[in-house]
Structure 1
Amino acid sequence: MVRALALLLMLVSLQLGSLISPAYACGCGAMVPSKESQVSVDRETSVVDWDGRTEQIVMRLTVRGNAPEAAWIMPVPHRASVELGDPGLFSELSVLTAPEPVTRHYFWPRSDDWPFADSGNVGDGAGAPSAGAPAVEVVGRERLGPFDVARLAATDPEALQKWLEDNGFDLPDRLATALKPYVEQKWEYVAIRLAPRGSGNPLSGTLEPLRLRFASDRLVYPMRLSKLASTPQQLGLYVLAEHRMEPSGPIGGDAPEVTYAGRIDPRSAADDTDALEGLTGADPVFLTAIEQSFPHPERIDGDHQLRATDADTPYRTKVYRNRLLTVGGIPAWVLSLLGAVLAAAAAVLLVRRARRWRPVPPPATVTVPPPLG
């Protein structure tokens, strides 16, 4: 899954034909365009759901280029089922994990405030193949929307390469070599032929999401193939599990950053869709949103192994908005200055009044002594 994009990235670095470097890739496999054509993934968003026994990954790609078709190869640890995903899932999760707006007030006016500005507006600021099985075994094939999906079991990457070539795609030797660790671990592959609905039209825009489901006793997000990318990569994950999850290590990238963590109720999360409940079921689940940068993808040294954290500590990113402090719509600093002026005026009046009503002392009395004699 994640490797498919990684593969895509690796193909970029290999400069397969005229493959364009993707702006976003999460290691979910490799994309192979037809000869003398271009295709790139501008963004890939993944949702991972794991209940301790089964892992589901829903991916949505935004692509551009002039390729009339392309092949997308994605390694998976066990045999996978593939179906179309619900686009509403991504909008639901985007709303749930949106940063919390927090207002911070400031007292003195700034450049965007009156009287400095023209107005008083405030600036806001798999199982192994059996003995004797073919090197590449097609274990399933179906048409899903615009996708022709083939699920493969391969005993060696060279055989996978030949299968792709026989189906009209070239797999670079370097990519075949990068697949060897997955072959040694007896992983399988999902090979998807991407083609627009209209004949002759290039692959472009946001494709329908795909949902993969396979058995797994551990939460793994493949990233190994991303090391073949020639440009910095960005990983974004929505992880749904019983507890808050974290990668066991950075695997060659910057430290992963949690942008949201909290227990959610899928039944109350839906707005116009019940996509989240359709993926996880009706029981509450812990949602962890993770972002990670890979400035030097060549340093990636493995797949992400995600584990439960020591505590299900909630977290939500905050976005601060600065606003001028007001009282009844009047800036507090104006009221303060007005109050100070009134207090000063009152003090002056009191002083003047005190002077005006100062009591006049009585005239001094003169005592006349009695006459002598």
Structure 2
Amino acid sequence: MVSKEEIIAKFDPNGPSVPGSLYGLPFGMEHSELIIIPAPWEVTVSYKAGTADAPKAILEASTQVDLFLRDIPDAWKMGMHLLPVAEGFEEENRKYRDLAMKYIQWLESNEEEWITDNLKIIPNAINEICEKVNIFIKSQATAYLNAGKMVALLGGDHSTPLGYINALTEKFGSFAVLQFDAHADLRASYEDFNYSHASIMYNVLKNPNITRLVQVGVRDLCEEEAAFINNSNGRVLTYYDEDIKRALFEGVAWHTICKEIINQLPELVYISFDIDGLDPKLCPNTGTPVPGGLEYNEVIHLIKEIVRSGRAIIGFDLNEVSPGEDEWDANVGARLLYQLGSLMGASMGRLHLID
């Protein structure tokens, strides 16, 4: 069997990337330290669809990403491997997405005085299939975690990482979630779907091992979510985009804001990244874009400072990337994924981040 060292010696990281593997890397699953689970699932998307196309689009766009990072020069040697999509996963997504749309269209028609028997059963059917997806993803994540791999998840909509996060609590115990997002995602349910993308953090917080949720960039939420945050006794700490911008306008350095955010995090951190947390110019095709948001380099700086603080990033997800026709969103998503994976590796001692 060819060793990883032999593969590295034969690979030219400066050459043109060959399509077929993530970033054109020469490693399969065995020699990759980071395993990325694709979850092309968007059954409960409530506005614009397209996030189910993200894993494939990001895989294709990844060949345009140069492997050299100035402060993690050997990042590519760690190995990142995107698993193939499970058989039947995409077909089930299409089937249940069509079903959910029938119910959403009925809700939006404002004709709630009538409902057919076929419509009545849709929410339960969607909730049941989403629960099965959570169980499946949890089993996938558990298997690779038990094999000593680092694991990440690539959605899909933002409902997808629930099972994976629950798997991480069984591996690591308690930790905090750092959420980059335009939305709070704290609704008990949305459009009668318990596992909606708008409910992911509400569902995550059902797990008592999630000690704190720190949200960054939120700028669109409902009254119910604001009350949830205010009544959480500090378990949910939200850095609203409006407040961040005001501090910046008044002369507070972004680095200072980052230090304040990091001080709210324990030693173990999970990053949940909804790409709509970024300024919409970086993700114009995402399902629910909102004006405002973070710049790409602001995000990378914050995550690097987390690593430099000595905290461990034990996992992450990247969601809500909808490629669009020009694949700009996939380009940004591919670069963000590479940074997230490399910085996770550095925080876990698999790579070294240069100060």
Shorter-normalised TM range: under 0.3
Higher strand share: 1
Higher gyration radius (CA): 1
* TM-score scaled by length of structure 1: 0.23
* TM-score scaled by length of structure 2: 0.24
